[in-house]
């Protein structure tokens, strides 16, 4: 690793991102010159960094030597010409193509011929930002995540003319400042912003179909799939102004690929000012005293004591055993029939198996059921039978979420879409397969990367979930990625290949 590069780092833009990049590099002892167009913004950003560091020092969390190193490494600049000695300049100014191009045109004339230039843009193509440069070989994207000191990931993105040596040096620099670089192709949304679409948009599609409420969908994704936040909590946190805009940008940039399509409600939330936490109201209310909506089914029904199994599946038998109910060897024509559809809704599943749809209570056993169990019934399903199963599940110490009939329940459809989009990113060669997983875990705090989800579910199971959802909905949104289909059909289990 190149320990002496950069000898001096320049950061232009002292907002959230620029200040974060400056702080992280300075903490590693790299001298940093920070510049902002707003008067005193760079000095104020440095004061804020040092103020926080002093508090950490006072709390015994930062050594005096580390504080001194940070203080001596950071200096504000007044003018672009103050960056002349920098051998790497990272731009983190306003997200505007003309502003960024104008800045780099000036910078090219100021820095040394072998200095590197990088942009932290989150949405502009790297090749387009650098198109007018005289020396595009020394230019690339260096996409940090917010907040920079906490987020480990950096996407390193070459433009069409970026030299391999530039990529190597930016990679080494990222490692030196304690980040995990992932090399990503120059595609709209790069890797993480593109890959992160499926989680929210499939949740929105599920809500649009009236399958479940935001609180139910969030609870399922947290408790059954270990996401730290459900999709609606996450959208409320990032704000509709950000996540609707990014979703629409990516849908348009990918020529209206139905996989990336959002819903009218998403736009409506933005246009009615229901932006999320920052507005006090989004999918949830943040008003004082607002009660959190429950995701849990409640019932006074007597717990079921006998069930039939719609299919001879080990998962179903194990689930029934966990409820302590008797599994009928012969159908008595009355007991609930437990079923485990993959990608199918209860209606299609029951009719295909020749079962009475009214008695079928479907259970999603594709994910963790130790905390919460999702139950699903057909439109003509017997609510009393469902409630008796719910009561048995509740008596076993777990929460129940009862949803309306849907292809793929809630978790199957959201995880299948996350995994399928990851497979498509692998097909497009956006990054090495293992790097796709690493980037999605580090950039979005996902419990597993998309290809790891595919492995967890099993490639052939994932493929059949997607095929069922595509066939039953008639929507190419669910079309399986060829990357997945080939590996599933060939029985390959090495996803890193
Ligand atoms: N905020 C995020 O979550 C995030 C994450 C990744 C990437 N990005 C990208 O990083 C860049 C900066 O984002 P941010 O959130 O820090 O924005 P910000 O608004 O917090 O900061 C931008 C700063 O740039 C300054 N500025 C604007 N034009 C300038 C110019 N011509 N020269 C010098 N300074 C100028 C502004 O005064 C401001 O202080 C954008 O390209 C953004 O898309 C943001």
pLDDT of residue 193: 97
Atom 21 of ligand 1 has which residue's CA nearest to it?
Answer: 15
What is d(CA 389, CA 408) in angstroms, rounded to the nearest whole number? Answer: 20
| Atom of ligand 1 at shortest range from CA of 18 | 16
| Atom of ligand 1 at shortest range from CA of 100 | 31
pLDDT of residue 494: 65
Total Cβ atoms within 10 A of residue 474: 8
pLDDT of residue 421: 98
Question: Which residue from 79, 94, 117 has its CB within 8 A of the most atoms of ligand 1, so it is best to mutate?
Answer: 94
E strand or H helix at 108: helix 97-110
pLDDT of residue 495: 61
> 3-state secondary structure string, 132-191?
CCCCHHHEEEEEECCCCCCCCEEEEEECCCCCHHHHHHHHHHHHHCCCEEEECCCCCCCC
Nearest to 207 by CA among 265, 275, 269, 277: 265
Distance 187 CA to ligand 1 centre (A): 20
Q: In CATH terms, are 9-186 and 193-279 the same topology?
A: no
Strand partners, 150: none
Does residue 1 register a pLDDT over 60?
A: no
Q: Contact 34/111 with Cβ under 8 angstroms?
A: no
Distance 104 CA to ligand 1 centre (A): 15
pLDDT in tens, 317-340: 999 999 999 999 999 999 999 999
- Domain 9-186: what homologous superfamily? NAD(P)-binding Rossmann-like Domain (3.40.50.720)
pLDDT of residue 3: 62
| Atom of ligand 1 at shortest range from CA of 144 | 6
What is d(CA 484, CA 416) in angstroms, rounded to the nearest whole number? Answer: 11
- Tally the residues of the chain: 497
CATH 1.10.3470.10 fits 193-279, yes or no: no
Distance 448 CA to ligand 1 centre (A): 30
Does residue 88 register a pLDDT over 80?
A: yes
Cβ < 6 Å from ligand 1: which residues?
12-18, 36-38, 41, 92-95, 99, 103, 120-122, 144-146
| Atom of ligand 1 at shortest range from CA of 94 | 27
Q: What is the mean pLDDT of residues 194-215?
A: 98
Atom 8 of ligand 1 has which residue's CA nearest to it?
Answer: 122
How far is the CA of 365 from the CAs of 80, 209, 350, 397, 411, in angstroms?
A: 59, 22, 17, 17, 10
State the Cα angle at 285 between 281 and 288, rounded to 5°: 110
What average pLDDT does the structure give for the chain? 96
Question: Which residue from 10, 11, 12, 16 has its CB within 8 A of the most atoms of ligand 1, so it is best to mutate?
Answer: 16
Q: What is the mean pLDDT of residues 25-45?
A: 97
Distance 91 CA to ligand 1 centre (A): 8
Tokens of 6: 């950069």
| Atom of ligand 1 at shortest range from CA of 20 | 16
Question: Which residue from 19, 39, 93 has its CB within 8 A of the most atoms of ligand 1, so it is best to mutate?
Answer: 93
pLDDT in tens, 460-490: 999 999 999 999 999 999 999 999 999 999 9
pLDDT of residue 4: 81
Strand partners, 181: 154
Question: Which residue from 40, 81, 91, 92 has its CB within 8 A of the most atoms of ligand 1, so it is best to mutate?
Answer: 92
- 10 Å CB burial of residue 288 (0-12, 13-18, 19+) is exposed
pLDDT in tens, 164-179: 999 999 999 999 999 9
Atom 10 of ligand 1 has which residue's CA nearest to it?
Answer: 92
Total Cβ atoms within 10 A of residue 285: 15
pLDDT of residue 496: 52
Atom 7 of ligand 1 has which residue's CA nearest to it?
Answer: 122
pLDDT in tens, 419-429: 999 999 999 99
pLDDT in tens, 347-368: 999 999 999 999 999 999 999 9
How far is the CA of 333 from the CAs of 192, 319, 326, 346, 351, in angstroms?
A: 51, 21, 15, 18, 16
Distance 95 CA to ligand 1 centre (A): 6
Does residue 79 register a pLDDT over 50?
A: yes
What is d(CA 407, CA 468) in angstroms, rounded to the nearest whole number? Answer: 8
pLDDT in tens, 402-442: 999 999 999 999 999 999 999 999 999 999 999 999 999 99
pLDDT in tens, 284-315: 999 999 999 999 999 999 999 999 999 999 99
The residues that are catalytic are: 122, 143, 155, 193
Distance 279 CA to ligand 1 centre (A): 22
pTM, two decimals, is 0.94
Atom 32 of ligand 1 has which residue's CA nearest to it?
Answer: 37
Does residue 141 register a pLDDT over 70?
A: yes
- 10 Å CB burial of residue 219 (0-12, 13-18, 19+) is buried
Distance 313 CA to ligand 1 centre (A): 54
What is d(CA 440, CA 153) in angstroms, rounded to the nearest whole number? Answer: 9
List the chain domain ranges: 9-186, 193-279, 306-403
Reported confidence tier of residue 497, pLDDT bands at 50, 70, 90:
low
| Atom of ligand 1 at shortest range from CA of 17 | 16
Q: Contact 438/422 with Cβ under 8 angstroms?
A: no
Distance 80 CA to ligand 1 centre (A): 16
- Percent of the chain beyond pLDDT 90? 98
- Domain 306-403: what homologous superfamily? NAD(P)-binding Rossmann-like Domain (3.40.50.720)
Q: Contact 205/227 with Cβ under 8 angstroms?
A: no
What is d(CA 480, CA 463) in angstroms, rounded to the nearest whole number? Answer: 6
């Amino acid at each position: 690793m190149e320990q002496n590069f950069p000898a001096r780092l320049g950061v232009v833009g002292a907002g959230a991102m620029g200040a974060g990049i400056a702080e992280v590099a300075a903490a590693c002892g790299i001298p940093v010159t920070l510049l902002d167009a707003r008067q005193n913004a760079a000095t104020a950003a440095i004061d804020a960094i040092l103020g926080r560091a002093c508090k950490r020092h006072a709390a015994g969390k930062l050594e005096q030597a580390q504080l001194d190193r940070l203080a001596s490494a950071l200096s504000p600049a007044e003018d672009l010409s103050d960056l002349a000695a920098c051998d790497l300049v990272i731009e983190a100014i306003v997200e505007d193509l003309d502003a960024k191009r104008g800045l780099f045109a000036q910078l090219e004339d100021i820095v040394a011929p072998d200095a590197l230039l990088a942009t932290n843009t989150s949405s502009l193509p790297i090749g387009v930002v650098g198109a007018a440069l005289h020396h595009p070989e020394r230019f690339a994207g260096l996409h940090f995540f917010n907040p920079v000191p906490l987020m480990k990931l950096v996407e390193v993105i070459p433009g069409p003319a970026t030299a391999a040596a530039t990529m190597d040096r930016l990679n080494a620099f990222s490692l030196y400042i304690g980040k995990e670089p992932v090399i990503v192709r120059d595609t709209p949304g790069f890797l993480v912003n593109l890959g992160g679409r499926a989680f929210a948009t499939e949740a929105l599609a599920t809500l649009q179909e009236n399958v479940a409420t935001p609180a139910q969908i969030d609870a399922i994704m947290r408790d059954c799939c270990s996401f730290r936040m459900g999709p609606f909590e996450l959208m409320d946190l990032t704000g509709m102004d950000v996540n609707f805009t990014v979703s629409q940008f990516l849908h348009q940039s990918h020529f209206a690929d139905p996989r990336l399509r959002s819903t009218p409600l998403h736009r409506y939330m933005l246009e009615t000012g229901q932006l999320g936490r920052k507005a006090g109201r989004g999918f949830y209310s943040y008003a004082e005293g607002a009660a959190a909506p429950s995701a849990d089914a409640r019932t006074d029904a007597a717990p079921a004591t006998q069930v039939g199994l719609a299919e001879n599946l080990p998962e179903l038998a194990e689930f029934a055993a966990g409820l302590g109910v008797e599994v009928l060897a012969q159908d008595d024509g009355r007991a609930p029939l437990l079923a485990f559809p993959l990608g199918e809704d209860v209606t299609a599943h029951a009719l295909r198996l020749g079962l009475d749809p009214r008695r079928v209570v479907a259970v999603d056993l594709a994910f963790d059921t130790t905390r919460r169990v999702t139950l699903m019934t057909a439109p003509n399903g017997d609510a009393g039978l469902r409630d008796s199963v719910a009561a048995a599940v509740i008596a076993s110490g777990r929460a129940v979420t009862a949803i309306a009939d849907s292809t793929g329940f809630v978790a199957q459809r959201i995880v299948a879409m996350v995994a399928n989009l990851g497979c498509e990113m692998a097909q497009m060669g956006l990054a090495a397969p293992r790097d796709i997983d690493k980037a999605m875990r580090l950039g979005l705090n996902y419990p597993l990367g998309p290809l790891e989800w595919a492995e967890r579910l099993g490639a052939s199971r994932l493929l059949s979930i997607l095929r069922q959802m595509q066939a039953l909905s008639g929507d190419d949104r669910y079309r399986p990625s060829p990357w997945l289909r080939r590996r599933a059909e060939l029985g390959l289990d090495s996803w890193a290949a």
